[in-house]
Protein backbone atom coordinates (compact mmCIF):
# COMPACT_ATOMS: atom_id res chain seq x y z
CA UNK A 1 0.00 0.00 0.00
CA UNK A 2 2.74 2.45 1.00
CA UNK A 3 4.81 1.51 -2.06
CA UNK A 4 1.77 2.12 -4.31
CA UNK A 5 1.15 5.49 -2.68
CA UNK A 6 4.78 6.57 -3.16
CA UNK A 7 4.87 5.26 -6.73
CA UNK A 8 1.79 7.25 -7.70
CA UNK A 9 2.69 10.35 -5.76
CA UNK A 10 4.45 11.99 -8.72
CA UNK A 11 1.00 12.90 -10.07
CA UNK A 12 0.13 14.73 -6.83
CA UNK A 13 3.41 15.95 -5.34
CA UNK A 14 5.35 18.80 -6.91
CA UNK A 15 8.94 18.05 -5.92
CA UNK A 16 9.64 14.56 -4.58
CA UNK A 17 7.86 11.34 -3.56
CA UNK A 18 9.88 11.60 -0.33
CA UNK A 19 7.51 14.35 0.82
CA UNK A 20 4.98 11.58 1.46
CA UNK A 21 6.97 10.92 4.66
CA UNK A 22 6.54 14.49 5.91
CA UNK A 23 2.85 14.57 5.03
CA UNK A 24 2.22 11.18 6.62
CA UNK A 25 4.07 12.10 9.80
CA UNK A 26 2.10 15.34 10.12
CA UNK A 27 -1.17 13.37 10.03
CA UNK A 28 0.25 10.78 12.43
CA UNK A 29 1.17 13.57 14.85
CA UNK A 30 -2.36 15.00 14.54
CA UNK A 31 -3.87 11.59 15.34
CA UNK A 32 -1.56 11.17 18.34
CA UNK A 33 -2.41 14.65 19.55
CA UNK A 34 -6.12 13.94 19.36
CA UNK A 35 -5.88 10.51 21.04
CA UNK A 36 -3.33 11.15 23.81
CA UNK A 37 -2.56 14.86 24.22
CA UNK A 38 0.02 15.89 26.80
CA UNK A 39 2.17 18.90 27.57
CA UNK A 40 5.45 17.31 26.33
CA UNK A 41 3.77 16.04 23.15
CA UNK A 42 2.40 19.50 22.35
CA UNK A 43 5.74 21.20 23.03
CA UNK A 44 7.99 18.74 21.19
CA UNK A 45 5.46 18.25 18.40
CA UNK A 46 5.19 21.98 17.72
CA UNK A 47 8.98 22.35 17.70
CA UNK A 48 9.53 19.30 15.46
CA UNK A 49 6.72 20.14 13.03
CA UNK A 50 7.84 23.75 12.69
CA UNK A 51 11.40 22.77 11.79
CA UNK A 52 10.58 19.84 9.49
CA UNK A 53 7.14 19.70 7.88
CA UNK A 54 6.20 23.38 7.99
CA UNK A 55 9.69 24.63 7.17
CA UNK A 56 10.03 22.42 4.09
CA UNK A 57 6.47 23.24 3.04
CA UNK A 58 7.39 26.95 3.06
CA UNK A 59 10.31 26.52 0.68
CA UNK A 60 9.08 23.63 -1.47
CA UNK A 61 5.25 23.39 -1.28
CA UNK A 62 4.42 19.73 -1.41
CA UNK A 63 1.53 19.57 -3.89
CA UNK A 64 1.13 20.40 -7.57
CA UNK A 65 -2.32 21.84 -6.90
CA UNK A 66 -2.41 25.32 -5.37
CA UNK A 67 -5.80 24.53 -3.84
CA UNK A 68 -4.43 21.44 -2.09
CA UNK A 69 -1.50 23.49 -0.79
CA UNK A 70 -3.94 26.04 0.65
CA UNK A 71 -5.95 23.27 2.34
CA UNK A 72 -2.79 21.67 3.77
CA UNK A 73 -1.71 25.09 5.04
CA UNK A 74 -5.03 25.30 6.91
CA UNK A 75 -4.37 21.86 8.40
CA UNK A 76 -0.88 22.91 9.60
CA UNK A 77 -2.32 26.11 11.05
CA UNK A 78 -4.75 24.14 13.19
CA UNK A 79 -2.16 21.50 14.07
CA UNK A 80 0.49 23.97 15.24
CA UNK A 81 -1.67 26.87 16.39
CA UNK A 82 0.22 29.23 14.04
CA UNK A 83 -1.27 30.71 10.84
CA UNK A 84 1.08 29.24 8.27
CA UNK A 85 0.92 32.14 5.82
CA UNK A 86 1.99 34.55 8.56
CA UNK A 87 4.85 32.29 9.56
CA UNK A 88 5.83 31.84 5.92
CA UNK A 89 6.08 35.60 5.46
CA UNK A 90 8.11 35.98 8.64
CA UNK A 91 10.47 33.16 7.64
CA UNK A 92 11.02 34.44 4.09
CA UNK A 93 11.71 37.89 5.54
CA UNK A 94 14.47 36.22 7.56
CA UNK A 95 15.92 34.82 4.34
CA UNK A 96 15.53 38.20 2.64
CA UNK A 97 17.60 39.77 5.42
CA UNK A 98 20.26 37.12 4.79
CA UNK A 99 20.12 37.98 1.09
CA UNK A 100 20.56 41.68 1.87
CA UNK A 101 23.71 40.72 3.80
CA UNK A 102 25.11 39.23 0.59
CA UNK A 103 23.45 35.83 0.45
CA UNK A 104 21.18 34.37 -2.24
CA UNK A 105 17.59 35.35 -2.88
CA UNK A 106 15.12 33.08 -1.03
CA UNK A 107 12.62 30.89 -2.80
CA UNK A 108 9.15 32.31 -3.18
CA UNK A 109 7.76 35.82 -2.69
CA UNK A 110 6.60 37.16 0.65
CA UNK A 111 3.51 39.25 1.25
CA UNK A 112 2.90 42.43 3.14
CA UNK A 113 -0.40 42.95 4.96
CA UNK A 114 -3.27 40.52 5.36
CA UNK A 115 -4.95 38.55 2.59
CA UNK A 116 -7.79 36.08 2.51
CA UNK A 117 -5.57 33.04 3.24
CA UNK A 118 -4.10 34.64 6.36
CA UNK A 119 -7.55 35.66 7.61
CA UNK A 120 -8.93 32.16 7.07
CA UNK A 121 -5.92 30.49 8.74
CA UNK A 122 -6.16 32.84 11.73
CA UNK A 123 -9.86 32.01 11.98
CA UNK A 124 -9.05 28.28 11.95
CA UNK A 125 -6.52 28.71 14.78
CA UNK A 126 -8.87 30.82 16.92
CA UNK A 127 -11.78 28.44 16.28
CA UNK A 128 -9.73 25.40 17.31
CA UNK A 129 -8.61 27.19 20.48
CA UNK A 130 -12.21 28.19 21.29
CA UNK A 131 -13.39 24.60 20.77
CA UNK A 132 -10.66 23.26 23.08
CA UNK A 133 -11.49 25.79 25.77
CA UNK A 134 -15.22 25.11 25.51
CA UNK A 135 -14.71 21.33 25.65
CA UNK A 136 -12.18 21.22 28.52
CA UNK A 137 -11.09 24.56 30.02
CA UNK A 138 -8.74 22.85 32.52
CA UNK A 139 -6.91 21.01 29.72
CA UNK A 140 -6.64 24.14 27.57
CA UNK A 141 -5.26 26.34 30.37
CA UNK A 142 -3.23 23.73 32.22
CA UNK A 143 -1.86 21.57 29.39
CA UNK A 144 -2.27 23.08 25.95
CA UNK A 145 -1.22 26.66 26.69
CA UNK A 146 1.93 25.69 28.67
CA UNK A 147 2.84 23.09 26.01
CA UNK A 148 2.27 25.62 23.24
CA UNK A 149 4.43 28.20 25.03
CA UNK A 150 7.18 25.61 25.61
CA UNK A 151 7.07 24.66 21.92
CA UNK A 152 7.46 28.29 20.88
CA UNK A 153 10.34 28.57 23.34
CA UNK A 154 12.08 25.58 21.75
CA UNK A 155 11.54 27.15 18.31
CA UNK A 156 13.09 30.40 19.55
CA UNK A 157 16.14 28.58 20.95
CA UNK A 158 16.44 26.63 17.68
CA UNK A 159 16.32 29.75 15.51
CA UNK A 160 18.66 31.71 17.76
CA UNK A 161 21.45 29.14 17.83
CA UNK A 162 21.17 28.36 14.11
CA UNK A 163 22.47 31.91 13.52
CA UNK A 164 23.98 33.15 16.79
CA UNK A 165 27.56 33.16 15.48
CA UNK A 166 26.70 33.11 11.81
CA UNK A 167 24.63 30.50 10.00
CA UNK A 168 25.75 27.16 11.41
CA UNK A 169 25.28 23.56 10.27
CA UNK A 170 25.17 20.32 12.24
CA UNK A 171 26.12 17.09 10.45
CA UNK A 172 25.09 14.51 13.05
CA UNK A 173 23.28 11.62 11.36
CA UNK A 174 20.64 11.14 14.10
CA UNK A 175 19.44 14.75 14.06
CA UNK A 176 19.39 14.88 10.27
CA UNK A 177 17.43 11.64 10.07
CA UNK A 178 14.85 12.84 12.60
CA UNK A 179 14.71 16.42 11.26
CA UNK A 180 14.97 15.65 7.54
CA UNK A 181 18.38 17.24 6.94
CA UNK A 182 17.55 20.44 8.81
CA UNK A 183 21.12 20.31 10.15
CA UNK A 184 22.43 21.36 6.71
CA UNK A 185 21.53 24.92 7.60
CA UNK A 186 24.38 26.83 5.94
CA UNK A 187 23.72 24.78 2.81
CA UNK A 188 20.00 25.62 3.05
CA UNK A 189 20.71 29.34 3.28
CA UNK A 190 22.93 29.14 0.24
CA UNK A 191 20.18 27.35 -1.74
CA UNK A 192 16.83 28.07 0.01
CA UNK A 193 14.83 26.42 -2.76
CA UNK A 194 16.81 23.16 -2.73
CA UNK A 195 14.73 20.14 -1.71
CA UNK A 196 15.65 18.65 1.67
CA UNK A 197 16.65 15.32 0.09
CA UNK A 198 19.39 17.03 -1.96
CA UNK A 199 21.01 19.19 0.73
CA UNK A 200 23.60 16.52 1.73
CA UNK A 201 24.72 16.43 -1.92
CA UNK A 202 26.06 19.99 -1.68
CA UNK A 203 28.01 20.21 1.61
CA UNK A 204 29.96 23.41 2.21
CA UNK A 205 33.51 22.52 3.13
CA UNK A 206 34.06 25.90 4.79
CA UNK A 207 30.65 26.02 6.53
CA UNK A 208 30.55 26.92 10.20
CA UNK A 209 29.39 23.83 12.05
CA UNK A 210 28.69 22.64 15.57
CA UNK A 211 28.75 19.18 17.10
CA UNK A 212 25.45 20.03 18.82
CA UNK A 213 21.97 20.27 17.24
CA UNK A 214 20.65 23.86 17.43
CA UNK A 215 18.42 23.38 20.46
CA UNK A 216 21.41 22.01 22.44
CA UNK A 217 23.99 24.42 21.04
CA UNK A 218 24.08 26.45 24.25
CA UNK A 219 26.31 23.60 25.50
CA UNK A 220 29.08 25.09 23.34
CA UNK A 221 29.48 27.67 26.11
CA UNK A 222 30.76 24.82 28.29
CA UNK A 223 32.86 23.37 25.53
CA UNK A 224 36.46 22.89 24.62
CA UNK A 225 37.48 26.54 24.47
CA UNK A 226 36.42 27.13 28.07
CA UNK A 227 38.44 24.06 29.12
CA UNK A 228 41.46 25.39 27.22
CA UNK A 229 41.23 28.65 29.14
CA UNK A 230 41.31 26.70 32.39
CA UNK A 231 44.53 25.03 31.25
CA UNK A 232 45.96 28.49 30.57
CA UNK A 233 45.48 29.42 34.22
CA UNK A 234 47.25 26.34 35.66
CA UNK A 235 50.86 25.33 35.09
CA UNK A 236 50.07 21.92 36.60
CA UNK A 237 47.34 21.29 34.04
CA UNK A 238 49.69 22.44 31.27
CA UNK A 239 52.30 19.85 32.28
CA UNK A 240 49.62 17.15 32.46
CA UNK A 241 48.17 17.78 28.99
CA UNK A 242 51.65 18.04 27.46
CA UNK A 243 52.64 14.69 28.95
CA UNK A 244 49.57 12.71 27.83
CA UNK A 245 49.49 14.27 24.36
CA UNK A 246 53.22 13.78 23.73
CA UNK A 247 52.97 10.01 24.28
CA UNK A 248 50.34 9.73 21.56
CA UNK A 249 52.23 11.99 19.13
CA UNK A 250 55.46 10.05 19.64
CA UNK A 251 53.77 6.68 19.09
CA UNK A 252 52.31 7.74 15.74
CA UNK A 253 55.19 9.86 14.41
CA UNK A 254 58.09 7.53 15.23
CA UNK A 255 57.57 5.09 12.31
CA UNK A 256 57.06 7.87 9.74
CA UNK A 257 59.67 9.24 7.32
CA UNK A 258 61.11 12.73 8.01
CA UNK A 259 58.54 15.53 8.05
CA UNK A 260 59.63 18.97 6.83
CA UNK A 261 56.52 21.16 7.06
CA UNK A 262 53.67 21.01 9.59
CA UNK A 263 50.44 23.03 9.77
CA UNK A 264 48.71 23.07 13.16
CA UNK A 265 45.06 24.14 12.82
CA UNK A 266 43.52 26.15 15.63
CA UNK A 267 46.79 26.19 17.56
CA UNK A 268 45.92 29.24 19.62
CA UNK A 269 45.19 29.46 23.34
CA UNK A 270 47.47 26.83 24.88
CA UNK A 271 49.48 25.53 21.86
CA UNK A 272 50.27 22.07 23.20
CA UNK A 273 50.56 20.39 19.79
CA UNK A 274 53.09 22.96 18.62
CA UNK A 275 55.18 22.68 21.77
CA UNK A 276 55.23 18.90 21.43
CA UNK A 277 56.08 18.92 17.72
CA UNK A 278 58.85 21.46 18.37
CA UNK A 279 60.54 18.78 20.48
CA UNK A 280 59.70 15.74 18.34
CA UNK A 281 60.39 17.38 14.96
CA UNK A 282 63.12 19.96 15.65
CA UNK A 283 64.01 20.38 11.95
CA UNK A 284 60.44 20.91 10.72
CA UNK A 285 58.91 24.29 9.88
CA UNK A 286 55.83 24.72 12.09
CA UNK A 287 52.89 26.98 11.18
CA UNK A 288 49.88 27.70 13.37
CA UNK A 289 46.66 28.63 11.53
CA UNK A 290 43.89 30.21 13.60
CA UNK A 291 40.81 32.26 12.67
CA UNK A 292 41.00 34.26 15.90
CA UNK A 293 43.88 36.75 16.15
CA UNK A 294 43.55 36.93 19.93
CA UNK A 295 44.33 33.19 20.11
CA UNK A 296 47.47 33.70 18.07
CA UNK A 297 48.57 36.45 20.42
CA UNK A 298 48.17 34.09 23.38
CA UNK A 299 50.04 31.30 21.55
CA UNK A 300 52.96 33.60 20.75
CA UNK A 301 53.71 34.00 24.47
CA UNK A 302 54.50 30.24 24.70
CA UNK A 303 56.40 29.78 21.44
CA UNK A 304 59.81 30.60 19.99
CA UNK A 305 60.03 33.17 17.21
CA UNK A 306 60.65 30.60 14.45
CA UNK A 307 57.09 29.24 14.69
CA UNK A 308 54.95 30.91 12.02
CA UNK A 309 51.55 32.34 12.97
CA UNK A 310 48.87 32.78 10.29
CA UNK A 311 45.52 34.47 10.84
CA UNK A 312 43.15 32.72 8.42
CA UNK A 313 40.25 30.28 8.25
CA UNK A 314 41.41 26.75 7.49
CA UNK A 315 39.47 25.17 4.60
CA UNK A 316 39.67 21.38 4.57
CA UNK A 317 38.72 21.34 0.88
CA UNK A 318 41.88 23.24 -0.12
CA UNK A 319 45.20 21.32 -0.23
CA UNK A 320 47.59 22.55 2.47
CA UNK A 321 51.27 23.18 1.56
CA UNK A 322 52.54 20.86 4.30
CA UNK A 323 53.62 17.27 4.87
CA UNK A 324 51.49 17.00 8.01
CA UNK A 325 48.32 18.76 9.16
CA UNK A 326 47.19 18.59 12.80
CA UNK A 327 43.44 18.98 13.42
CA UNK A 328 42.17 19.85 16.94
CA UNK A 329 39.19 18.34 18.70
CA UNK A 330 37.50 21.75 18.53
CA UNK A 331 37.81 21.90 14.74
CA UNK A 332 34.91 23.79 13.12
CA UNK A 333 34.19 22.19 9.75
CA UNK A 334 33.65 18.85 8.04
CA UNK A 335 35.85 16.46 10.03
CA UNK A 336 34.68 13.48 7.95
CA UNK A 337 36.06 15.15 4.84
CA UNK A 338 39.52 15.25 6.43
CA UNK A 339 39.29 11.52 7.08
CA UNK A 340 38.13 10.85 3.51
CA UNK A 341 40.46 13.25 1.71
CA UNK A 342 43.23 14.69 3.93
CA UNK A 343 44.42 18.18 2.90
CA UNK A 344 48.05 16.97 3.17
CA UNK A 345 49.87 13.67 2.80
CA UNK A 346 49.47 13.04 6.53
CA UNK A 347 46.87 14.27 9.02
CA UNK A 348 46.83 13.85 12.78
CA UNK A 349 43.24 14.29 13.93
CA UNK A 350 42.28 14.75 17.58
CA UNK A 351 38.99 12.96 18.15
CA UNK A 352 36.86 11.40 20.85
CA UNK A 353 37.94 8.10 22.35
CA UNK A 354 35.05 6.20 20.75
CA UNK A 355 35.91 7.37 17.20
CA UNK A 356 38.94 5.37 15.99
CA UNK A 357 39.88 6.03 12.36
CA UNK A 358 42.96 4.68 10.59
CA UNK A 359 45.96 4.25 12.87
CA UNK A 360 45.45 5.71 16.31
CA UNK A 361 46.79 6.20 19.81
CA UNK A 362 45.01 6.90 23.06
CA UNK A 363 45.72 10.33 24.55
CA UNK A 364 43.84 9.96 27.82
CA UNK A 365 40.84 8.10 29.22
CA UNK A 366 40.30 11.04 31.56
CA UNK A 367 40.07 13.47 28.64
CA UNK A 368 38.18 10.90 26.49
CA UNK A 369 40.56 11.73 23.63
CA UNK A 370 42.51 9.84 21.01
CA UNK A 371 44.78 10.83 18.12
CA UNK A 372 44.10 9.35 14.68
CA UNK A 373 46.66 9.23 11.88
CA UNK A 374 45.25 9.46 8.35
CA UNK A 375 47.34 8.98 5.21
CA UNK A 376 46.40 10.25 1.78
Co-location of 214 and 336 in the same domain: no
Co-location of 177 and 207 in the same domain: yes
Q: Which helix (H) or strand (E) holds 262?
A: strand 261-265
Surface-to-core class of residue 239, CB atoms within 10 Å of its CB (0-12 exposed, 13-18 middle, 19+ buried): exposed
Range of the domain at 173: 2-220
Domain boundary among 173, 190, 220: 220
Tell how far CA 336 is from the center of its chain: 14
Co-location of 154 and 169 in the same domain: yes
Domain boundary among 220, 241, 260: 220
Domain boundary among 187, 220, 253: 220
Co-location of 198 and 268 in the same domain: no
Co-location of 199 and 254 in the same domain: no
Co-location of 126 and 27 in the same domain: yes
Co-location of 253 and 288 in the same domain: yes
Q: What is the pLDDT along the chain (376 residues), one digit of tens a residue?
A: 444 444 455 678 998 999 999 999 999 999 999 999 999 999 999 999 999 999 999 999 999 999 999 999 999 999 999 999 999 998 988 888 766 554 444 444 444 445 888 999 999 999 999 999 999 999 999 999 999 999 999 999 999 999 988 899 999 999 999 999 999 999 999 999 999 999 999 888 778 888 889 998 887 765 555 656 665 666 777 788 788 889 999 999 999 999 999 999 986 666 888 889 999 999 999 999 988 888 888 888 888 888 999 998 888 888 999 999 999 988 877 888 899 999 999 999 999 888 998 899 999 887 788 999 999 8
Surface-to-core class of residue 204, CB atoms within 10 Å of its CB (0-12 exposed, 13-18 middle, 19+ buried): middle
Q: How many domains does the chain have?
A: 2
Sheet of strand 324-327: strand arrangement: 308-311, 285-290, 261-265, 324-327, 346-352, 369-375, 359-364
With beta carbons less than 8 A apart as the criterion, state whether 77 and 121 touch.
Answer: yes
With beta carbons less than 8 A apart as the criterion, state whether 49 and 26 touch.
Answer: yes
Domain harbouring 371, CATH code:
3.40.50.150
With beta carbons less than 8 A apart as the criterion, state whether 272 and 297 touch.
Answer: no
Co-location of 132 and 263 in the same domain: no
Amino acid sequence: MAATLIAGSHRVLRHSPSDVLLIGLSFAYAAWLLSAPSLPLIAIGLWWTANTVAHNFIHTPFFRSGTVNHVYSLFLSALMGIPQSLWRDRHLRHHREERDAGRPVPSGPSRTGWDRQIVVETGVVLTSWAAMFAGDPAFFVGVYVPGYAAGLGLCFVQGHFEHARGTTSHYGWLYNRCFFNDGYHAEHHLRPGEHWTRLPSHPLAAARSSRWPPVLRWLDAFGLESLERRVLRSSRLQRLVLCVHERAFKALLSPLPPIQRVTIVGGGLYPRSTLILRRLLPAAVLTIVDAKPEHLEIASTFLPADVKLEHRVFDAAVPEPADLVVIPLAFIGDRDRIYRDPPAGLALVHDWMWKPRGEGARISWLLLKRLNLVKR
